[in-house]
Amino acid sequence: MPTRRPSLRTSRLAEPTRQELTLTANVLGGYEGNYGSGTGARLVPAAIASGSTGYLDGTLGYFRGDALRSIRLASTGNLQAYPGYLERPAAGGAATVDAMTTVGRNLTFRASERVRYESLFNVFSPGASRGSSPPGIGETVPATGLFERHSLSSYSSVSIDRLWSQRDSSSFSYSYGVQQFTDDEHGNNSAHDVHTEYRRKRLAHGIGARAAYRYVYGEYTDYDGAVRPTREHRIEGGPEMEKALSRRRHLTLSLGAGASYIESAGSTGRGPYHSWVPIGSGSATLDLSPFWSVEGGYRRGFSLLQGVTDEVYTTDTAFLSTRRLVTARTNLRVGAMYSNWRTSLAPGVDDRFTVYGASLQVSVALSATVAAAADYLYYRHRYSNPGELPAGFPAEYDRHAVRVGLTVQVPLAGTWTRRH
Protein backbone atom coordinates (compact mmCIF):
# COMPACT_ATOMS: atom_id res chain seq x y z
CA MET A 1 0.00 0.00 0.00
CA PRO A 2 1.41 3.48 -0.70
CA THR A 3 2.30 5.86 2.07
CA ARG A 4 1.39 9.49 1.83
CA ARG A 5 4.63 11.33 1.29
CA PRO A 6 4.98 14.63 3.12
CA SER A 7 6.18 17.52 1.05
CA LEU A 8 9.92 17.89 0.99
CA ARG A 9 9.42 21.63 1.44
CA THR A 10 8.99 21.32 5.20
CA SER A 11 8.82 24.27 7.52
CA ARG A 12 12.21 25.59 8.64
CA LEU A 13 10.80 27.28 11.72
CA ALA A 14 12.33 26.20 15.01
CA GLU A 15 10.47 23.27 16.50
CA PRO A 16 10.95 20.85 19.39
CA THR A 17 13.38 17.98 19.13
CA ARG A 18 11.76 14.79 20.36
CA GLN A 19 13.82 12.26 22.31
CA GLU A 20 12.37 8.95 23.47
CA LEU A 21 13.51 5.64 24.91
CA THR A 22 10.74 3.02 24.85
CA LEU A 23 10.41 -0.63 25.81
CA THR A 24 7.75 -2.68 24.00
CA ALA A 25 6.93 -6.31 24.82
CA ASN A 26 4.38 -8.94 23.79
CA VAL A 27 3.52 -12.12 25.69
CA LEU A 28 1.12 -14.43 23.84
CA GLY A 29 0.00 -18.04 24.19
CA GLY A 30 -2.54 -20.22 22.47
CA TYR A 31 -3.24 -23.24 20.29
CA GLU A 32 -2.43 -24.12 16.69
CA GLY A 33 -4.15 -26.73 14.55
CA ASN A 34 -1.82 -27.78 11.72
CA TYR A 35 -2.86 -30.13 8.92
CA GLY A 36 -0.61 -31.07 6.02
CA SER A 37 0.31 -33.79 3.54
CA GLY A 38 2.60 -34.52 0.64
CA THR A 39 6.06 -33.45 1.80
CA GLY A 40 9.11 -33.20 -0.42
CA ALA A 41 10.89 -36.27 -1.79
CA ARG A 42 14.49 -35.11 -1.37
CA LEU A 43 14.84 -36.21 2.26
CA VAL A 44 12.80 -38.01 4.93
CA PRO A 45 9.54 -36.06 5.51
CA ALA A 46 8.94 -34.33 8.85
CA ALA A 47 5.62 -34.37 10.69
CA ILE A 48 3.52 -31.30 11.37
CA ALA A 49 2.27 -31.16 14.94
CA SER A 50 -0.74 -29.41 16.43
CA GLY A 51 -0.77 -28.15 19.99
CA SER A 52 -0.04 -25.28 22.34
CA THR A 53 2.21 -22.38 21.38
CA GLY A 54 3.87 -19.47 23.12
CA TYR A 55 5.44 -16.26 21.90
CA LEU A 56 7.52 -13.64 23.70
CA ASP A 57 9.28 -10.61 22.25
CA GLY A 58 10.81 -7.39 23.49
CA THR A 59 12.01 -4.26 21.68
CA LEU A 60 14.11 -1.46 23.08
CA GLY A 61 13.79 1.58 20.83
CA TYR A 62 15.44 5.00 20.86
CA PHE A 63 14.44 8.02 18.76
CA ARG A 64 15.86 11.51 18.59
CA GLY A 65 14.98 14.11 15.99
CA ASP A 66 12.50 16.46 14.41
CA ALA A 67 11.10 17.11 10.92
CA LEU A 68 14.55 18.04 9.56
CA ARG A 69 16.76 15.24 10.83
CA SER A 70 16.40 12.21 13.03
CA ILE A 71 17.89 8.89 14.08
CA ARG A 72 16.09 5.78 15.27
CA LEU A 73 17.69 2.72 16.92
CA ALA A 74 15.94 -0.51 17.84
CA SER A 75 16.95 -3.90 19.18
CA THR A 76 14.50 -6.82 19.25
CA GLY A 77 14.64 -10.33 20.67
CA ASN A 78 11.99 -13.05 20.53
CA LEU A 79 11.24 -16.61 21.60
CA GLN A 80 8.69 -18.91 19.94
CA ALA A 81 7.65 -22.16 21.62
CA TYR A 82 5.98 -25.10 19.84
CA PRO A 83 6.15 -27.97 22.38
CA GLY A 84 4.70 -30.50 19.91
CA TYR A 85 7.03 -29.45 17.10
CA LEU A 86 10.27 -28.12 18.62
CA GLU A 87 12.27 -29.55 21.55
CA ARG A 88 13.05 -26.06 22.88
CA PRO A 89 11.91 -22.50 22.14
CA ALA A 90 13.26 -20.99 18.93
CA ALA A 91 15.14 -17.72 19.39
CA GLY A 92 15.38 -14.80 17.00
CA GLY A 93 16.42 -11.19 17.01
CA ALA A 94 17.12 -8.07 15.00
CA ALA A 95 18.92 -4.74 15.27
CA THR A 96 17.93 -1.69 13.21
CA VAL A 97 19.21 1.83 12.66
CA ASP A 98 17.44 4.49 10.53
CA ALA A 99 18.68 8.01 9.89
CA MET A 100 17.26 10.97 7.96
CA THR A 101 18.47 14.48 7.23
CA THR A 102 17.50 17.37 4.96
CA VAL A 103 19.87 19.56 2.95
CA GLY A 104 18.55 22.98 2.03
CA ARG A 105 14.86 23.15 1.21
CA ASN A 106 14.64 20.46 -1.46
CA LEU A 107 16.82 17.44 -0.63
CA THR A 108 16.18 14.63 1.86
CA PHE A 109 18.68 11.82 2.53
CA ARG A 110 17.77 8.55 4.26
CA ALA A 111 19.85 5.53 5.26
CA SER A 112 19.03 2.35 7.15
CA GLU A 113 20.62 -0.92 8.23
CA ARG A 114 18.94 -4.05 9.60
CA VAL A 115 20.61 -7.24 10.84
CA ARG A 116 18.39 -10.21 11.66
CA TYR A 117 18.59 -13.78 12.95
CA GLU A 118 15.53 -15.77 11.98
CA SER A 119 15.03 -19.14 13.65
CA LEU A 120 11.77 -20.21 11.99
CA PHE A 121 11.56 -20.02 8.23
CA ASN A 122 8.26 -19.56 6.41
CA VAL A 123 6.92 -18.54 3.01
CA PHE A 124 6.20 -14.92 3.86
CA SER A 125 9.26 -14.36 6.04
CA PRO A 126 11.54 -11.49 4.98
CA GLY A 127 14.08 -13.91 3.54
CA ALA A 128 11.64 -16.09 1.66
CA SER A 129 9.65 -13.40 -0.06
CA ARG A 130 11.90 -10.38 -0.35
CA GLY A 131 10.32 -7.92 -2.77
CA SER A 132 7.31 -10.04 -3.68
CA SER A 133 4.77 -9.30 -0.95
CA PRO A 134 2.95 -5.98 -0.63
CA PRO A 135 3.38 -4.19 2.70
CA GLY A 136 0.98 -5.56 5.27
CA ILE A 137 1.17 -9.21 4.22
CA GLY A 138 3.69 -10.20 6.86
CA GLU A 139 1.73 -8.55 9.66
CA THR A 140 -1.67 -9.69 8.45
CA VAL A 141 -1.00 -13.39 7.91
CA PRO A 142 2.06 -14.70 9.77
CA ALA A 143 2.95 -18.34 9.08
CA THR A 144 5.60 -19.14 11.68
CA GLY A 145 6.04 -22.77 12.65
CA LEU A 146 5.56 -24.03 9.11
CA PHE A 147 9.13 -24.86 8.14
CA GLU A 148 12.17 -24.78 10.43
CA ARG A 149 15.38 -23.28 9.11
CA HIS A 150 17.80 -20.83 10.68
CA SER A 151 19.26 -17.87 8.84
CA LEU A 152 21.30 -14.69 9.28
CA SER A 153 20.46 -11.72 7.10
CA SER A 154 21.26 -8.06 6.67
CA TYR A 155 19.59 -5.32 4.65
CA SER A 156 21.14 -1.93 3.88
CA SER A 157 19.57 0.96 1.98
CA VAL A 158 20.14 4.61 1.07
CA SER A 159 17.79 7.01 -0.71
CA ILE A 160 17.65 10.59 -1.99
CA ASP A 161 14.40 12.53 -2.47
CA ARG A 162 14.47 15.71 -4.54
CA LEU A 163 11.76 18.35 -4.89
CA TRP A 164 12.19 20.12 -8.23
CA SER A 165 9.12 22.33 -8.00
CA GLN A 166 5.75 22.47 -6.26
CA ARG A 167 4.55 19.79 -8.70
CA ASP A 168 7.61 17.72 -9.59
CA SER A 169 9.68 15.40 -7.41
CA SER A 170 12.00 12.44 -7.85
CA SER A 171 13.55 9.75 -5.71
CA PHE A 172 16.48 7.39 -6.07
CA SER A 173 17.30 4.45 -3.80
CA TYR A 174 19.81 1.63 -3.61
CA SER A 175 19.65 -1.38 -1.31
CA TYR A 176 21.68 -4.52 -0.74
CA GLY A 177 20.40 -7.58 1.08
CA VAL A 178 22.08 -10.88 1.93
CA GLN A 179 20.77 -14.01 3.66
CA GLN A 180 22.70 -17.11 4.73
CA PHE A 181 21.22 -20.30 6.19
CA THR A 182 23.05 -22.01 9.04
CA ASP A 183 22.21 -25.65 8.21
CA ASP A 184 23.53 -25.70 4.62
CA GLU A 185 24.12 -23.33 1.73
CA HIS A 186 20.93 -24.12 -0.18
CA GLY A 187 18.89 -20.94 -0.42
CA ASN A 188 21.73 -18.54 0.40
CA ASN A 189 21.02 -15.38 -1.55
CA SER A 190 21.98 -11.76 -2.08
CA ALA A 191 20.47 -8.93 -4.12
CA HIS A 192 21.36 -5.43 -5.32
CA ASP A 193 18.26 -3.30 -5.89
CA VAL A 194 18.23 0.08 -7.68
CA HIS A 195 14.98 2.04 -7.89
CA THR A 196 14.23 5.45 -9.36
CA GLU A 197 10.89 7.24 -9.52
CA TYR A 198 9.45 10.49 -10.84
CA ARG A 199 6.19 12.05 -9.59
CA ARG A 200 4.04 14.81 -11.07
CA LYS A 201 1.37 16.31 -8.82
CA ARG A 202 -1.83 18.00 -9.86
CA LEU A 203 -2.19 17.00 -13.52
CA ALA A 204 -5.81 17.75 -12.72
CA HIS A 205 -7.64 18.46 -9.48
CA GLY A 206 -6.63 15.70 -7.04
CA ILE A 207 -4.87 13.64 -9.76
CA GLY A 208 -1.14 13.07 -10.28
CA ALA A 209 1.09 10.54 -12.01
CA ARG A 210 4.25 8.57 -11.39
CA ALA A 211 6.79 6.64 -13.49
CA ALA A 212 9.31 4.20 -12.04
CA TYR A 213 12.16 1.93 -13.09
CA ARG A 214 13.70 -0.85 -10.99
CA TYR A 215 16.74 -3.03 -11.61
CA VAL A 216 17.53 -6.04 -9.40
CA TYR A 217 20.58 -8.27 -9.63
CA GLY A 218 20.60 -11.27 -7.33
CA GLU A 219 22.50 -14.49 -6.72
CA TYR A 220 20.93 -17.68 -5.38
CA THR A 221 22.51 -20.98 -4.28
CA ASP A 222 20.50 -23.98 -5.53
CA TYR A 223 20.34 -27.57 -4.24
CA ASP A 224 23.49 -28.61 -6.14
CA GLY A 225 25.54 -25.77 -4.64
CA ALA A 226 25.64 -23.79 -7.86
CA VAL A 227 25.28 -20.00 -7.56
CA ARG A 228 22.71 -18.77 -10.10
CA PRO A 229 22.56 -15.08 -11.07
CA THR A 230 19.19 -13.41 -11.73
CA ARG A 231 18.53 -10.03 -13.36
CA GLU A 232 15.21 -8.24 -13.42
CA HIS A 233 14.14 -4.98 -15.10
CA ARG A 234 10.77 -3.46 -14.16
CA ILE A 235 9.21 -0.39 -15.81
CA GLU A 236 5.91 0.88 -14.45
CA GLY A 237 3.77 4.02 -14.40
CA GLY A 238 0.28 5.21 -13.76
CA PRO A 239 -2.05 7.71 -12.09
CA GLU A 240 -2.37 8.63 -8.41
CA MET A 241 -5.44 10.21 -6.88
CA GLU A 242 -6.40 11.80 -3.59
CA LYS A 243 -10.05 12.75 -3.20
CA ALA A 244 -12.17 13.98 -0.32
CA LEU A 245 -15.46 12.09 -0.63
CA SER A 246 -16.97 14.04 2.25
CA ARG A 247 -15.84 15.93 5.32
CA ARG A 248 -14.94 12.65 7.06
CA ARG A 249 -14.19 10.32 4.15
CA HIS A 250 -11.01 10.37 2.09
CA LEU A 251 -9.80 8.12 -0.76
CA THR A 252 -6.19 7.58 -1.87
CA LEU A 253 -5.70 5.51 -5.03
CA SER A 254 -2.59 4.49 -6.96
CA LEU A 255 -2.53 2.39 -10.16
CA GLY A 256 0.39 1.15 -12.21
CA ALA A 257 1.02 -0.88 -15.35
CA GLY A 258 4.10 -1.79 -17.33
CA ALA A 259 6.40 -4.68 -18.13
CA SER A 260 9.04 -6.73 -16.36
CA TYR A 261 11.88 -8.76 -17.86
CA ILE A 262 13.83 -11.44 -15.99
CA GLU A 263 16.74 -13.63 -16.96
CA SER A 264 18.34 -16.36 -14.87
CA ALA A 265 20.50 -19.44 -15.20
CA GLY A 266 18.28 -22.52 -15.24
CA SER A 267 18.16 -24.98 -12.37
CA THR A 268 19.67 -28.46 -12.78
CA GLY A 269 18.63 -30.10 -16.02
CA ARG A 270 16.96 -27.00 -17.44
CA GLY A 271 18.20 -24.29 -19.76
CA PRO A 272 18.49 -20.54 -19.12
CA TYR A 273 15.30 -18.79 -18.03
CA HIS A 274 14.19 -15.48 -19.54
CA SER A 275 10.76 -13.94 -19.90
CA TRP A 276 8.83 -10.71 -20.47
CA VAL A 277 5.65 -10.41 -18.41
CA PRO A 278 3.08 -7.61 -18.35
CA ILE A 279 2.86 -6.31 -14.80
CA GLY A 280 0.50 -4.22 -12.77
CA SER A 281 -0.03 -2.90 -9.29
CA GLY A 282 -2.73 -1.07 -7.45
CA SER A 283 -3.42 0.15 -3.96
CA ALA A 284 -6.20 2.05 -2.27
CA THR A 285 -6.83 3.49 1.17
CA LEU A 286 -10.31 4.58 2.17
CA ASP A 287 -10.62 6.59 5.38
CA LEU A 288 -14.25 6.21 6.40
CA SER A 289 -13.80 8.21 9.60
CA PRO A 290 -10.94 9.29 11.89
CA PHE A 291 -11.31 5.87 13.57
CA TRP A 292 -11.99 3.53 10.62
CA SER A 293 -9.96 2.80 7.48
CA VAL A 294 -9.89 0.13 4.74
CA GLU A 295 -6.83 -0.72 2.65
CA GLY A 296 -6.30 -3.01 -0.32
CA GLY A 297 -3.64 -3.77 -2.90
CA TYR A 298 -2.48 -5.96 -5.77
CA ARG A 299 0.93 -6.58 -7.31
CA ARG A 300 2.34 -8.78 -10.08
CA GLY A 301 6.05 -9.55 -10.35
CA PHE A 302 8.75 -12.23 -10.22
CA SER A 303 10.12 -14.02 -7.17
CA LEU A 304 12.03 -17.03 -5.86
CA LEU A 305 10.81 -19.28 -3.07
CA GLN A 306 14.19 -18.74 -1.47
CA GLY A 307 15.35 -21.72 0.56
CA VAL A 308 12.47 -23.90 -0.67
CA THR A 309 12.72 -24.48 -4.45
CA ASP A 310 15.11 -23.43 -7.24
CA GLU A 311 12.60 -22.05 -9.74
CA VAL A 312 11.65 -18.49 -10.75
CA TYR A 313 7.93 -17.74 -10.26
CA THR A 314 5.53 -15.19 -11.67
CA THR A 315 3.58 -13.97 -8.63
CA ASP A 316 0.17 -12.33 -8.27
CA THR A 317 -0.60 -11.14 -4.75
CA ALA A 318 -3.62 -9.27 -3.38
CA PHE A 319 -4.63 -8.21 0.13
CA LEU A 320 -7.45 -6.41 1.91
CA SER A 321 -7.45 -5.16 5.48
CA THR A 322 -9.42 -2.88 7.74
CA ARG A 323 -8.84 -1.39 11.16
CA ARG A 324 -11.35 0.31 13.39
CA LEU A 325 -11.35 1.89 16.81
CA VAL A 326 -14.56 0.31 18.13
CA THR A 327 -14.48 2.15 21.45
CA ALA A 328 -11.99 4.49 23.09
CA ARG A 329 -10.11 1.41 24.36
CA THR A 330 -10.87 -1.33 21.80
CA ASN A 331 -9.11 -1.65 18.44
CA LEU A 332 -10.16 -4.19 15.76
CA ARG A 333 -8.14 -5.32 12.73
CA VAL A 334 -9.30 -7.77 10.05
CA GLY A 335 -7.22 -8.89 7.06
CA ALA A 336 -7.24 -11.33 4.14
CA MET A 337 -4.79 -12.13 1.35
CA TYR A 338 -4.31 -14.36 -1.70
CA SER A 339 -1.15 -15.14 -3.65
CA ASN A 340 -0.60 -17.27 -6.75
CA TRP A 341 2.91 -18.36 -7.79
CA ARG A 342 3.48 -19.98 -11.21
CA THR A 343 6.59 -21.27 -13.00
CA SER A 344 6.84 -22.87 -16.42
CA LEU A 345 8.78 -26.17 -16.49
CA ALA A 346 8.09 -26.96 -20.16
CA PRO A 347 5.63 -25.79 -22.84
CA GLY A 348 2.20 -26.38 -21.32
CA VAL A 349 3.62 -27.69 -18.00
CA ASP A 350 3.52 -25.44 -14.91
CA ASP A 351 4.21 -25.73 -11.21
CA ARG A 352 1.78 -23.69 -9.11
CA PHE A 353 1.82 -22.55 -5.52
CA THR A 354 -1.26 -20.84 -4.06
CA VAL A 355 -1.54 -19.22 -0.63
CA TYR A 356 -4.61 -17.99 1.26
CA GLY A 357 -4.70 -16.25 4.61
CA ALA A 358 -6.94 -14.33 6.99
CA SER A 359 -6.63 -12.76 10.42
CA LEU A 360 -8.74 -11.19 13.16
CA GLN A 361 -7.00 -9.16 15.86
CA VAL A 362 -8.55 -7.38 18.85
CA SER A 363 -6.74 -5.31 21.45
CA VAL A 364 -8.23 -3.65 24.55
CA ALA A 365 -6.28 -1.00 26.46
CA LEU A 366 -6.17 -1.87 30.16
CA SER A 367 -4.06 1.16 31.08
CA ALA A 368 -1.86 3.74 29.42
CA THR A 369 0.91 1.15 28.95
CA VAL A 370 -0.77 -2.30 28.95
CA ALA A 371 -3.29 -3.84 26.54
CA ALA A 372 -4.93 -7.26 26.29
CA ALA A 373 -4.74 -8.87 22.84
CA ALA A 374 -6.51 -11.76 21.10
CA ASP A 375 -5.75 -13.06 17.57
CA TYR A 376 -7.21 -15.63 15.22
CA LEU A 377 -5.01 -16.54 12.24
CA TYR A 378 -5.74 -18.75 9.23
CA TYR A 379 -3.19 -19.87 6.63
CA ARG A 380 -3.47 -22.34 3.74
CA HIS A 381 -1.27 -23.28 0.80
CA ARG A 382 -1.26 -25.82 -2.03
CA TYR A 383 1.75 -26.82 -4.17
CA SER A 384 1.16 -28.75 -7.39
CA ASN A 385 4.41 -30.78 -7.45
CA PRO A 386 5.37 -32.32 -4.06
CA GLY A 387 8.52 -33.96 -5.46
CA GLU A 388 10.23 -30.57 -5.89
CA LEU A 389 9.87 -29.61 -2.21
CA PRO A 390 12.45 -30.15 0.57
CA ALA A 391 11.76 -32.31 3.60
CA GLY A 392 9.44 -30.73 6.13
CA PHE A 393 7.71 -28.41 3.66
CA PRO A 394 4.27 -29.90 2.94
CA ALA A 395 2.60 -29.60 -0.45
CA GLU A 396 -0.77 -29.13 1.27
CA TYR A 397 -0.98 -27.24 4.53
CA ASP A 398 -3.74 -25.69 6.65
CA ARG A 399 -3.14 -23.75 9.85
CA HIS A 400 -5.58 -22.34 12.40
CA ALA A 401 -4.16 -20.45 15.36
CA VAL A 402 -5.69 -18.72 18.37
CA ARG A 403 -3.52 -16.57 20.65
CA VAL A 404 -4.25 -14.40 23.68
CA GLY A 405 -1.94 -12.33 25.83
CA LEU A 406 -0.66 -8.91 26.82
CA THR A 407 1.22 -6.14 25.03
CA VAL A 408 3.21 -3.57 27.01
CA GLN A 409 4.69 -0.25 25.90
CA VAL A 410 6.66 1.62 28.56
CA PRO A 411 8.32 5.03 27.99
CA LEU A 412 11.60 4.74 29.88
CA ALA A 413 12.78 8.27 29.14
CA GLY A 414 11.66 11.20 27.06
CA THR A 415 12.50 14.87 26.78
CA TRP A 416 11.48 17.84 24.64
CA THR A 417 14.20 20.37 23.87
CA ARG A 418 14.46 23.29 21.52
CA ARG A 419 16.91 23.16 18.64
CA HIS A 420 19.62 25.79 18.84
For the chain, the three-class secondary structure string (H helix, E strand, C coil) is CCCCCCCCCCCCCCCEEEEEEEEEEEEEEEEEEEEEEEECCCCCCCCCCCEEEEEEEEEEEEEEECCCEEEEEEEEEEEEECCCCCCCCEEEEEEEEEEEEEECCCEEEEEEEEEEEECCECCCCCCCCCCCCCCCHHHHCCCCCCECCCEEEEEEEEEEEEECCCCEEEEEEEEEEEEEECCCCCCCEEEEEEEEEEEEEEEECCEEEEEEEEEEEEEEECCCCCEEEEEEEEEEEEEEEEEECCCCCEEEEEEEEEEEEEEECCCCCCCCEEEEEEEEEEEEEEEEECCEEEEEEEEEEEEECCCCCCCEEEEEEEEEEEEEECCCCEEEEEEEEEEEEEEEEECCEEEEEEEEEEEEEEEEECCCCEEEEEEEEEEEEEECCHHHCCCCCEEEEEEEEEEEEEEEEEEEEEEEEECC
C-alpha–C-alpha distance, residues 381 and 397, integer Å: 5
The structure's pTM equals 0.81
Residues 6+ apart with CB under 8 A from 293: 285, 286, 287, 322, 323, 324
Mean pLDDT per 10-residue interval, the chain, length 420 residues: 44 70 94 71 52 92 93 94 80 96 94 90 53 45 60 95 94 95 85 96 88 94 83 94 90 94 72 82 93 93 75 87 93 92 78 90 94 91 82 80 93 61
Domain 32-418 bears CATH identifier 2.40.170: yes
**What is the pLDDT, as a whole number, of residue 137?**
45
Q: Residue ranges of the domains in the chain?
A: 32-418
Residue type, 145: G
**What is the pLDDT, as a whole number, of residue 50?**
80
Please name which of 176, 173, 172 lies closest in space to residue 156, comparing C-alpha atoms.
176
C-alpha–C-alpha distance, residues 367 and 264, integer Å: 54
